[in-house]
Amino acid sequence: MKKTSKLRKLAEGSKQALTLICYPPGEGQAAANISAMAAEQGLRMDRALAMRIARYTGLDRKLAAMEVEKLALYHDASAENPVTVDVRAFGQLSAETAEENVQALVNHVLGGKLRPLAAELAANRQMGVDAVRIIRAVQRQVTMLAALRAKVESGTSPGAVIRAAPSIFYKEKDMVEAQLIRWPPGRLAGLNGHLIDIEQKLMAVKAELGVVIMEEELTKIARAAARFS
C-alpha cells in the first residue's frame, strides 16, 4: 500500500491493528528457494538453472515446485539417490507451457529489436498470455539491469559484470550485455516508473483493451531503445 492509502493510515493509527511490511521475493531469493526445494528431492541444480526456472514460472513458488517435482520424477531422484539435473531435460519437460515463456519478448523490447518484437507480440496475443504478466517480466529485467548497471558505474566493464552474474542464462548473456550498455541509470529509473504506471493502467481496464495498451507501450519502449544504440 502507498503511504497515502487511507486504509494504511487507519491501520497504523489504530492500537487494534497490526501492520506488517512484506515484500515479494526477487529473482535471487526465488532461485534460492528453488535450489532448496530441488535439494530436498535429491536434485543437484546450479544457480543458472534455478534462475531460469524462477523466470519461467514468473517467481510463482507453486509453479516452481511443480517444475522441480517433474524433474525429480524424470531423473528418478530422491534424498537417498541424488542426481545432477540435465538442463536439456528442463527444456523438454517445460515445452508444454513454453509458449508462455516471455523472456524472448522482454529481450526484444529492451534490446530495441522491433521486427522480432512484432512477431512475439502477435504470438503472445494469439496464445492469450496475460498483459500484466508480460509487463511484470519487463519490470524484473529492468530491476536486474539497474543492479548490474550500478556495478558498471562503479568502474567494472559491462562484459565483466555480465560474466560475474550467475543469474543470467548463458545463452542470454550477450543480449543482456547489449541492454546494459544501451540503458544508463537515468533511463532505467525512468522506465521502471513508467512500467509501474502501465501496470496500474492495465489493472483498471478490460483484458482486451489491456493487450492493446501493452503492445503499444512496449513498442514505444523498443523504439526508444533502438534510438539509444
List per-residue pLDDT tens for the chain, 229 residues long. Answer: 566 777 777 777 887 777 776 666 678 888 999 999 999 999 999 998 998 888 777 677 888 898 899 899 999 999 898 999 988 888 777 654 544 568 899 999 999 999 999 999 999 898 888 898 899 899 989 999 999 999 999 999 999 999 988 778 888 899 999 999 999 999 999 999 999 999 999 999 998 999 999 999 999 999 999 998 6
Find the helix or strand (DSSP H, E) in which 223 lies: helix 207-228
- Rama region for 112: left / alpha / beta (φ>0; ψ in -120 to 50; rest): left
* Sign of the four-CA dihedral 64, 69, 75, 81: positive
Is 82 in the same domain as 120?
no
pLDDT at 17: 78
pLDDT at 96: 43
pLDDT at 188: 96
DSSP conformational letter for 15: T
- In angstroms, the CA 34 to CA 65 distance is 7
Is 133 in the same domain as 223?
yes
pLDDT at 99: 44
Is 147 in the same domain as 92?
no
Domain encompassing residue 89: 27-98
Number of structural domains found in the chain: 2
Are 59 and 24 contacting, i.e. CB atoms less than 8 angstroms apart?
yes
Instruction: From residue 186, give the alpha-carbon distance in Å to each of 12, 83, 104.
Output: 34, 45, 24
pLDDT at 38: 95
CATH at residue 74: 1.10.8
Is 183 in the same domain as 80?
no
DSSP conformational letter for 79: S
Q: Is 83 strand, coil or helix?
A: strand
Is 161 in the same domain as 71?
no
Residue 177 belongs to a domain = yes
CA-nearest of 121, 132, 136, 64 to 94 is 64
Residue 12 belongs to a domain = no
Residue 219 belongs to a domain = yes
Is 127 in the same domain as 56?
no
Q: Is 159 strand, coil or helix?
A: helix
- In angstroms, the CA 130 to CA 132 distance is 6
Is 109 in the same domain as 174?
yes
Last residue of a domain, one of 71, 98, 125: 98
Is 77 in the same domain as 186?
no
Last residue of a domain, one of 98, 114, 144: 98
Residue 17 belongs to a domain = no
Provide φ and ψ at 211, rounded to 5°: -65, -45
CATH at residue 206: 1.20.272.10
Is 50 in the same domain as 76?
yes
Q: How many CA atoms lie within 13 A of 86 on its CB side?
A: 10
Residue 15 belongs to a domain = no
- In angstroms, the CA 197 to CA 195 distance is 5
Is 89 in the same domain as 166?
no
Number of other residues whose CB lies within 10 A of the CB of residue 125: 14
Is 113 in the same domain as 213?
yes
Last residue of a domain, one of 64, 79, 98: 98
Is 143 in the same domain as 192?
yes
Residue 185 belongs to a domain = yes
Residue 202 belongs to a domain = yes
pLDDT at 220: 97
